[in-house]
Amino acid sequence: MQPYRHKVQYYETDKMGITHHANYIHWMEEARVDFLDQLGFGYDRMEAMGVGSPVISVECRYRAPSTFPEEVTVAVRVARFKTVRIWFEYEMKKADGTLVCQGRSEHCFVSPEGKLLRLDKACPALAEKLTALAEGAE
């Protein structure tokens, strides 16, 4: 999978000229959406199939600042997948390779009514791909 590329926008910086910490969470979402698009199962397709994937938890570890107008790449990987839950890990780096941030998010799969659902039953093709990616991560 290709890493997601994000150019730090001026409005994303704080009074000190560095990226405000909350933006890294937004970049994780942007990268996750792109990752699923690359798999052929973007959120729009998943939702059309009756599958939602809300965030259960998210964490970030800040390693170095980024500033306008640097480009930050966000690599996403499936750390773990269990039929009703998925864990993603993120690694954000500047063009020179400096590690900026590491993150993790946990999601569940739900029906349009908000009930937990097994992805292997609701969308077997996506479940197969995620299983393979998770097994490659171990």
Q: What are the residues facing 99 on neighbouring strands? A: 93
Which of 118, 119, 98 has the alpha carbon at shortest distance from 39? 119
Beta carbons within 10 angstroms of residue 39's beta carbon: 16
DSSP 40: T
- Given the residues 14, 37, 44, 96, the one annotated as active site: 14
Instruction: Judge contact between 120 and 85, C-beta under 8 A.
Output: no
Cis-peptide into 69, omega within 30 deg? yes
What amino acid occupies position 92? M
44 catalytic per annotation: no
Tell me the catalytic residues: 14
